[in-house]
Chains A and B, each alone.
Chain A
Amino acid sequence: MIYWQLFFAFLQIGAFSFGGGYAAMPLIQSQVIDRYAWLSIEDFTALVTIAEMTPGPIAINAATFAGNQVAGIPGALAATVGVILPSCLLVTALAYLYNKYQKLALIQGILKSLRPAVVAMIFSAGLNILIPALFRSGSVSFAPGNFQPLMAAYFLGALLILRLKKKVNPIAVMAGCGAAQLIVQTVMRGG
């Protein structure tokens, strides 16, 4: 049943996304795109963009969005309950243990070594968004019509601004890229 599938897929996303924020991205990709094909990479990119521009954790945004797309509001509910259930159980258990033992060297050791794996997988998920944005066919090839120089220019421009100006708002950078593309497309359509 679709509700159970949504619930279990997002239960796994909730249970294994350590480190908050972007850490959920590779898990969402592996369940929602690769395993069940509930969203296309195009939809997923739109979702990440929307999640970035609205308040709320990306995992809950993804659960609500994917659930709604696949099975309406009941689907969104099933996915959202799935994604927060592991948090409810594990945080409470950890809080209880923490009160009892204070220092949890083992958990800290595990988290320290999870961090590089999480960074690597966020990078991998980021490439899965970047490459289809720059190359129409979805794979790296500079054949005419495949490589999109405009997109590459937005990407490099945005990255440069983000790296050079430390306190810049990422939402503003993204909105700037969107506005630039809208202007270029309007001019091209008019001409």
Chain B
Amino acid sequence: MAGSVPDVKGRAPGLPESRGAILKKLFFSTLYLSAFTFGGGYVIITLMKEKFVDELHWLDEDEMLDLVAIAQSSPGPIAVNGAIVLAYKLAGVPGILCSVVGAVLPPFVILTAVSFFYNAFRSNFVIQSLLSGMKAGVSAVIISVVLDMAGGIARSRDIILIGTMIAAFAANYFLGVNVICIILTAAGIGAARTILRERKKKKEETDGGERK
């Protein structure tokens, strides 16, 4: 882990002097956001921006955009990633601990309770009927999200991306290929394409230079 605290001073006028105050605020802000935000990571990121940029002025908008890019580039839940990257920027490793505990605590408590009641109520007529109907509903929600995402990829008209999508589906659904293998293969294709493109760009630049 990158150890030292990034330079905090001189960046944000609203940032309090005391480390303790920052840590406390980080903990309670992420706790609050995580406990009351429905709708997943992207919603939480927007609310974090409102809290830390617009309300507290601990960061400016451009810095926040960079942090969001990092949170989205990393694996794992985006809400947790957002909390980590923000805390790292504001208070280093102790900040990460505070904000991660704050972000994880509400779902942990809620799902522990749900898990307990799930076992007790699983055979209950009302719960069973509700859950079985909602099964159809949640399938529709997932298929709808997939349609949106797949539409975006189809519109890119990038043959390799579209081919990757079809091949990944066939490999996973029909052939039962391991999810992690598919992710690593797709990552490899992306890395190879990027390296080739950068190399081509560099070559064109030097060729262009020679012609002058």
Please give the residue numbers on chain A whose beta carbons come within 8 Å of chain B beta carbons, in ascending order.
12, 14-22, 24-27, 30, 45-46, 48-50, 52-61, 64-65, 68-69, 73, 76, 80, 83-84, 86-96, 98-99, 104-127, 129-130, 133-134, 151-152, 154-156, 158-159, 162-163, 170-171, 173-182, 185-186, 189
Contacts and interface: CB of A to CB of B under 8 A. Distances in A.
17 contacts: A14-B76, A49-B131, A50-B114, A56-B110, A60-B107, A69-B115, A84-B104, A87-B77, A89-B1, A90-B74, A93-B1, A109-B191, A115-B149, A133-B139, A182-B129, A185-B129, A189-B125
Interface residues of B, number: 96
A122 B140 contact: no
Contact of B111 (A56, A113, A159, A178): A56
A16 B179 contact: yes
Given A73-B112, A155-B136, A182-B133, A21 B107 contact: no
Contacts of A186: 129
Given A30-B178, A83-B76, A87-B77, 9 more contacts: A20-B81, A56-B111, A91-B71, A117-B183, A119-B150, A119-B153, A120-B167, A121-B169, A174-B138
Chain B interface mostly: helix
Interface of B: 1-2, 6, 34-38, 40-42, 66-67, 69-81, 84-85, 88-89, 93, 96, 100, 104, 106-108, 110-112, 114-116, 118-119, 125-126, 129-147, 149-150, 153, 160-162, 164-169, 172-173, 178-180, 182-183, 185-187, 189-191, 193-195, 197-198
Contact of B172 (A96, A120, A173): A120
A95 B118 CA distance: 39
A56 B169 contact: no
Among the interface residues B2, B141, B161, B187, which one has the most CB atoms of the partner chain A within 10 A? B141
